[in-house]
Amino acid sequence: MDYTRIMQSLLTETKLLARNVQGEHRRILTFHDPSLYRECISQWKHLADHGPLHPSVTCSPLTQTIIAPASRTAVIEKEFREELTVEEDSRIHIHAVQGSIATLTGIPWGVKHIKAPQAWSVSTGHRIKIGVIDTGVDFAHPDLKHSLGRGINLVNRAIPPYDDNGHGTHISGTIAAANSTRGMIGVAPRSIVYPVKAFDHNGSAFVSDIVLAIDWCIRNQVDIINMSFGMQSRSRALLEVVGKANQSGVIIVASSGNDGKRRTADYPARYPQTISVGATDRNRKIPSFSNRGQFVDIYAPGDKIVSAWLQGRYHEMSGTSMATSHISGTIALLLAQRPGLRTTAIKSLLRRTSTPLRLRKGYSHSDGEVNALKFLREGMKLQG
């Protein structure tokens, strides 16, 4: 097949349309044959005078995926229709209910509630790398300045992953804040958050941004990926990269969604390769906003959670996003002592050591809230 002609056509269209890509629909092209993907990328780079791909086009070698504006992919889609899976690059949103400014010193109620402080004599999550795919982080926040790795900004690669929304900073605070004198303490205060900014200031991203974010996390050998976002439609590309992360031994923790539904969860939390998280309140009950049921693996505090915010402040927020950060921190406590544990074992342990949820009458026999102390104690008996 004449790869040169096909890639030349794509490159030409890219140059002609370079000024008009803002807001244009994108496509995700996943090649079934890795060698075909490599050949196409090789030819394209050769034609582009051995330079990088045009900024409007990105790729994930891990999943053999090319992401480009829809107007530029027609030739490839036509020529390789038997060798490709093509999907629209859908929007995806963070999972939080907007809250209010708050004050905080010490240990937040959720961190206390799951008994994380009682576990710190055994583990604080020392040097466990957690990729937080979100809106970035406030690098200047006093509670986070000793808890952050460099990370990456996929929205604007020219600058660090600064948070222009607040959600990513809030998530990072619950996981790894470490200011015992004047600020707050997170679940795993000696773990390291690597902010991967895939979401804009509105808390919105594309599936392709998440694919590239997970790709980055795998290549940079993070231990845990926190994904406090979701969508209701399936994505082949997202499933592929989640599977790759799972195969690499990365633990993916994902929020189930804030639709208050009883028998479903958003993607990617619905994929079995992830740990799907629902929210609880101070009474160990499921708040009305949280999804629940068979696709939720574990529950954690997610109602009226105060954590770090922009400009060194604090904010109260609710959502399965907030619950997810408690679980990521809890898993970090164990991985620091038992590295190498896989998703299946951790998921089973979370369920087995959980505290039954409260129902209107009695307690749940199937759903439970995380107990970090019991999880760590029982997990220490396992071999990684």
Active site residues: 134, 167, 321
Chain mean position to CA 136: 12
Which residues face 316 on adjacent strands?
Answer: 100, 306
What is the distance between the alpha carbons of residues 264 and 269, in angstroms, rounded to a whole number? Answer: 10
Nearest CA to 349 out of 325, 323, 373 is that of 373
For residue 227, give the 3-state DSSP assignment.
strand
Q: At what angle do helices 320-335 and 167-176 cross, to 10 degrees?
A: 40
Chain mean position to CA 185: 21
What is the distance between the alpha carbons of residues 246 and 227, in angstroms, rounded to a whole number? Answer: 14
Q: What DSSP character marks residue 188?
A: S
Across the chain, which distance is largest between two alpha carbons, in Å?
70
What is the distance between the alpha carbons of residues 65 and 215, in angstroms, rounded to a whole number? Answer: 11
